[in-house]
């Protein structure tokens, strides 16, 4: 028998970079399809899944700010629109698998998606629709990690599941140090104190203040998204 999923409502954060995979183009459709398959399967089990998508595979505001006179706020608006492209693509993938979805954007793009309305988002979740949040927080100078933490708090998600390209949180950078150790568990305070690069400080603070645990895990291992969504112990758990 399959164990009962641990979570009733989760917020899954998928970075833009993860969607690109090894590809030099912006999205690897095979990766996107696998993500959609795992999300759809868990949604079918009755777990309420909200997704916040990043946009770094297309555009990062901070990287482009300054180019040809582009100010940071405008650059970030372009970045937020990049996240909407990922949201639409993920929506299409999920729906091709028969999984009902809604995209809600933090600023109005009425012909493309619903505007973010908290109560409506929760209603969709109750009805078994996967809700995909696009356009981050709608504000420049923020990140989609912060958007994930914010939406999780707003919709009363029990956990933020952060899908990344590494196995979790290490004591030092595993790309530069072969002796790097993976943490099974770290506290919010430890992440802040040791400046562990896992989420920006704003996002971690929001999760800490609202007592929302974060699970950081590797999405490149097939089955991991399902495991995380079901509440299996993978990657690194961040909490009090």
Phi-psi region of 10 (alpha: psi -120 to 50; beta: other; left: phi over 0): beta
55 near ligand UDP (CB under 6 A): yes
21 near ligand UDP (CB under 6 A): no
The site string for ligand UDP over 157-196 (x = CB under 6 A, - otherwise) reads: ----------------------------------------
The residue range among 59-67, 107-115, 157-165, 180-188 that interacts with ligand UDP, by the rule CB under 6 A, is 59-67
87 near ligand UDP (CB under 6 A): no
139 near ligand UDP (CB under 6 A): yes
In the numeric block, which tokens belong to residue 72?
Answer: 């940071």
C-alpha distance across the termini of the chain, in Å: 32
Q: For residues 206 and 230, which CB has a smaller minimum distance to ligand UDP in the complex? A: 206
C-alpha distances (whole Å) from 38 to each of 11, 27, 28, 222, 223 are 14, 17, 16, 9, 7
Among 147, 163, 166, 214, which residue sits at the site for ligand UDP (rule: CB under 6 A)?
147
Q: For residues 49 and 230, which CB has a smaller minimum distance to ligand UDP in the complex? A: 49
Other Cβ atoms closer than 10 A to 166: 20
Q: Which of 184, 201, 229 is nearest to 145 (CA)?
A: 201
Q: For residues 20 and 40, which CB has a smaller minimum distance to ligand UDP in the complex? A: 20
The site string for ligand UDP over 208-227 (x = CB under 6 A, - otherwise) reads: --------------------
Which residues are within 8 A (CB) of 175 and not within 5 positions of it... i.e. 6 or more apart?
none
Q: How many residues bind ligand UDP (CB under 6 A)?
A: 22
DSSP state of 68: G
DSSP for 147-207, written as a single string = HHHHHHHHTT-SEEEEEESSSS-BSS-TTT-TT--B-SEEEHHHHHHTT-BTB-HHHHHHH
Among 21, 61, 213, 235, which residue sits at the site for ligand UDP (rule: CB under 6 A)?
61
By CB under 6 A, name the binding residues for ligand UDP.
Answer: 15-17, 54-56, 60-62, 76, 79-80, 82-83, 136-137, 139-140, 142-144, 147
């Amino acid at each position: 028998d399959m164990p009962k999923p641990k979570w009733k409502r989760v917020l899954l954060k998928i970075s833009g970079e993860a969607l690109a995979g090894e590809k030099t183009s912006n999205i690897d459709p095979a990766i996107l399809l696998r993500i959609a398959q795992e999300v759809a399967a868990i949604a079918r089990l009755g777990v309420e899944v909200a997704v916040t998508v990043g946009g770094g595979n297309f555009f990062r505001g901070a990287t482009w700010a300054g180019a040809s006179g582009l100010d940071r706020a405008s650059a970030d608006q372009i970045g937020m629109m990049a996240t909407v492209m990922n949201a639409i693509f993920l929506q299409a993938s999920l729906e091709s698998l028969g999984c009902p979805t809604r995209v809600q954007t933090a600023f109005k793009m009425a012909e493309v998606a619903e505007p973010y309305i908290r109560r409506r988002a929760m209603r969709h979740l109750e009805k078994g629709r996967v809700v995909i949040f696009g356009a981050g927080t709608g504000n420049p100078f923020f990140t989609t990690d912060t958007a994930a933490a914010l939406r999780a708090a707003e919709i009363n998600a029990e956990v933020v599941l952060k899908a990344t390209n590494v196995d979790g949180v290490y004591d030092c950078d595993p790309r530069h140090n072969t002796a790097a150790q993976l943490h099974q568990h770290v506290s919010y305070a430890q992440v802040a104190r040791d400046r562990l690069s896992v989420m920006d400080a704003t996002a971690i603070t929001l999760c800490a203040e609202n007592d929302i645990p974060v699970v950081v895990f590797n999405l490149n291992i097939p089955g991991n998204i399902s495991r995380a969504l079901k509440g299996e112990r993978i990657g690194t758990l961040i909490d009090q």
